[in-house]
Chain A
């Protein structure tokens, strides 16, 4: 009895040993070298595996960054939108590269065709999928560019950042958005766009993608962009272009002056996270106290008035006429300069 046990132990132990030796040599022979940096980079990534970078998962992205750093010496075009600048810097540090800080982005819904703005003319019954409905018809409100409201964008979001508002029938993006771009791809109507989050989350955008002429666009939706061109004219920074009856604000040029928002006849241009405007009647023609003006941006019209005034008064001052105003000029001037610098 004892004998059998001993034989079994020796036999199995011997087999195991032989197998271990063979495996050791085979493993050495077929060893694949893997850069340890790949693991390091992968650890630094958010592990969301969302595909926002264009690679199938974080591991593939890590491999791509290490390869690019080795071969090209830069990481251009490789960007982890979820991790943002923080992760970007970390990855750069691991790979010994300097990474330029990028402006954080956020998904923006460019349609305001809610149930009240674009009342339903027909009712959709069928599979709750935007891409399916998109193949069938224009939309409940009649606008064939509008949001279909069936939530394909919500389904693909890995970050719980986009939800349907049952009151308006439109999706709403919250602060959890990492700009991975999954919803942008999922939307069959190309309504969602990744735009800069902007300073203090302030954003201005045209909330419409209707490329129809003004009259038919307005017929289906009261807040449609009708391509009137008022915003294009009023913009001093060439930020707004109109192509096929639709305005688009280029966020690289936009200075968030909000002039376009004011002139838009259909309220198609949206401003987000701005302080509420002061009523028009209270527009300060007379210069406001310094403390106030540093917070609230003064409308540009007022600025020019102030400027021309101050120039005149300075000139006048040199000549020596009307010394009465000088006092106000002195308090005003530093504010102007500050504004200009900004």
Chain B
């Protein structure tokens, strides 16, 4: 196979701990009450169009897009709208949500519920984008950026390559891995749909080398299509980052502060490709997703297909309960995920996993002084100096942080992982990014 491709700068290789990679995707029963937050995508929150007391079906429109960078939300369950009120979500705050009391499981008539795989693409490029927009598809990797925006390159820019992200570089998570194994055909059709929408001739599916079964399976499936190629990649975190994947796959570098389209690339997650298949071929809006529930103390690490709005407590129950010495529950992976504060938090479009950490794993070590070992600089995949940026942010020197390109930080956490003095570098980097971001917005 020769030398495997990977990105050039930095990167780490944490313990993989993919405990649930052999657990087939199980469908979680419909919850009794679904909490559907209105802010599920990056950008403006959606605007509700249903009222308290309305009867809704699965797949019915609940809320329309609240701006250009926004997506509509469809009902994940059928039943009666109980209320539209503030409910705690993954942000740790109470935000507006539509709460539905579930009654049966009646799907909207327009959704094709047959098992048959539709491989013929009937829609043209514009129709595909419109369908993706109306079905509320967002980036399923976790960033929840509205997919249709990525499919409409700004004037003067054209996409050359479509990169499909099957990297799943986060330790523990296996949702994309399982999806590739079980829904490979659908994903490949989804990739073809995305290629049609963008009018690109070449697509790369990047998969890390620790998933040989997925690489073989997808390679087998794409044999009959000329434009699609599977790229096995060296295992390196954070390869799933857009900019890192572009560097690894096509050896191009996205300029600072620019989007991938600048170098002729569009990156989509395999989960997004699957959602696109379902939206375009089956007319099924995005209202369920695969979530990994895992952790060293979890009795049954699993991959679940759960409806949006299912409380996470139900998923943990399905994984045979909360282990007794759980110290922290993390929404997402261990590197970029966020600790959550309540078990009532619902699954949203961006939930990729739940990680239940034992107490001794989750406690942070005390912060020591920086010994200038420069490990953080060495591992930074963006070529930044995390020790300097975190210091600037801590001392409130935001001008310096801005000049040292703090906004290019992708918050991957490699620096904090590598730091021998256990300094919470990422915390200060995030704080600095937040402040510099608001300063920059005010300046405009």
B424 interfacial contact with A, CB 8 Å? yes
Closest beta carbon of chain A to B88's beta carbon, Å: 8
Residues A121 and B364 in contact in the complex (CB < 8 Å), given A131-B434, A135-B430: no
Give the chain B neighbours of A144 by CB distance below 8 A: 92-94
Q: Is the CB of B341 within 8 A of A127?
A: no
A274 interfacial contact with B, CB 8 Å? no
B262 interfacial contact with A, CB 8 Å? no
B108 interfacial contact with A, CB 8 Å? no
From B363, B424, B435, residue with most partner A Cβ within 10 Å: B424
Q: Is the CB of B341 within 8 A of A132?
A: no
A16 interfacial contact with B, CB 8 Å? no
Q: Which residue of A lies closest to B424 (CB)?
A: A127
What is the 8 Å Cβ interface bit string for chain A, positions 125-143, against chain B (1 contact, 0 not)? Answer: 1110101100111100010
Q: Is the CB of A138 within 8 A of B93?
A: yes
Q: Is the CB of A131 within 8 A of B431?
A: yes
Of the residues B92, B338, B339, B363, contact of A138 by C-beta under 8 Å: B92
Q: Is the CB of A137 within 8 A of B92?
A: yes
Q: Is the CB of B431 within 8 A of A132?
A: yes
A137 to B427, CA, bound (A): 13
A272 interfacial contact with B, CB 8 Å? no
Give the chain A neighbours of B94 by CB distance below 8 A: 138, 144, 212, 216
Give the chain B neighbours of A131 by CB distance below 8 A: 431, 434-435
Q: Is the CB of B430 within 8 A of A137?
A: no
Give the chain B neighbours of A136 by CB distance below 8 A: 92, 338
B304 interfacial contact with A, CB 8 Å? no
B172 interfacial contact with A, CB 8 Å? no
Give the chain A neighbours of B338 by CB distance below 8 A: 136
Interface size class of B (residues with CB under 8 A): 10 to 19
B428 interfacial contact with A, CB 8 Å? yes
Closest beta carbon of chain A to B68's beta carbon, Å: 24
Of the residues A125, A126, A216, contact of B363 by C-beta under 8 Å: A125
Interface residues of A in 108-136 (CB under 8 A from B): 121-122, 125-127, 129, 131-132, 135-136
A122 to B343, CA, bound (A): 12
A132 to B394, CA, bound (A): 10
Interface residues of B in 373-392 (CB under 8 A from A): none
Closest beta carbon of chain A to B341's beta carbon, Å: 5
Q: Is the CB of B341 within 8 A of A138?
A: yes
Of the residues A121, A135, A142, A216, contact of B434 by C-beta under 8 Å: A135
For chains A and B in complex, what number of residue pairs have CB atoms within 8 angstroms? Answer: 46
Q: Which residue of B lies closest to A129 (CB)?
A: B431
From A126, A127, A142, A144, residue with most partner B Cβ within 10 Å: A127
Give the chain A neighbours of B93 by CB distance below 8 A: 137-138, 144
The DSSP consensus for interface residues of chain B is mixed
A132 to B94, CA, bound (A): 18
Closest beta carbon of chain B to A110's beta carbon, Å: 19
Q: Is the CB of A132 within 8 A of B92?
A: no
Give the chain A neighbours of B434 by CB distance below 8 A: 131-132, 135
A336 to B88, CA, bound (A): 55
A144 to B93, CA, bound (A): 6
Give the chain A neighbours of B92 by CB distance below 8 A: 136-138, 144
Give the chain B neighbours of A129 by CB distance below 8 A: 394, 427-428, 431
Give the chain A neighbours of B428 by CB distance below 8 A: 127, 129, 132
Closest beta carbon of chain A to B342's beta carbon, Å: 8
A124 to B93, CA, bound (A): 15
Interface residues of A in 287-331 (CB under 8 A from B): none
Q: Which residue of A lies closest to B91 (CB)?
A: A137
Interface residues of B in 347-381 (CB under 8 A from A): 363-364
Give the chain B neighbours of A122 by CB distance below 8 A: 341
What is the 8 Å Cβ interface bit string for chain B, positions 327-339, against chain A (1 contact, 0 not)? Answer: 0000000000011
Interface residues of B in 54-110 (CB under 8 A from A): 86, 88, 91-94
Closest beta carbon of chain A to B366's beta carbon, Å: 11
A216 to B88, CA, bound (A): 12
Q: Is the CB of A137 within 8 A of B341?
A: yes
Of the residues A126, A135, A216, contact of B364 by C-beta under 8 Å: A126
Of the residues A127, A138, A216, contact of B427 by C-beta under 8 Å: A127
What is the 8 Å Cβ interface bit string for chain B, positions 415-437, against chain A (1 contact, 0 not)? Answer: 00000000010011011001100
Interface residues of A in 210-257 (CB under 8 A from B): 212, 216
Give the chain A neighbours of B91 by CB distance below 8 A: 137
Residues A132 and B363 in contact in the complex (CB < 8 Å), given A121-B341, A138-B341: no
Give the chain A neighbours of B427 by CB distance below 8 A: 126-127, 129, 132
Closest beta carbon of chain A to B310's beta carbon, Å: 21
Q: Which 5 A-B pairs have the closest CB atoms?
A: A137-B92, A127-B427, A132-B431, A122-B341, A125-B364
Residues of B within 8 A of A (CB): 86, 88, 91-94, 338-339, 341, 363-364, 394, 424, 427-428, 430-431, 434-435
Instruction: Provide 23 A-B residue pairs closer than 8 Å at the C-beta atoms, listed in order of the A residue.
Output: A122-B341, A125-B363, A125-B364, A126-B424, A126-B427, A127-B394, A127-B427, A127-B428, A127-B431, A129-B428, A129-B431, A131-B431, A131-B434, A131-B435, A132-B434, A135-B434, A137-B92, A137-B93, A137-B339, A137-B341, A138-B92, A138-B93, A142-B341
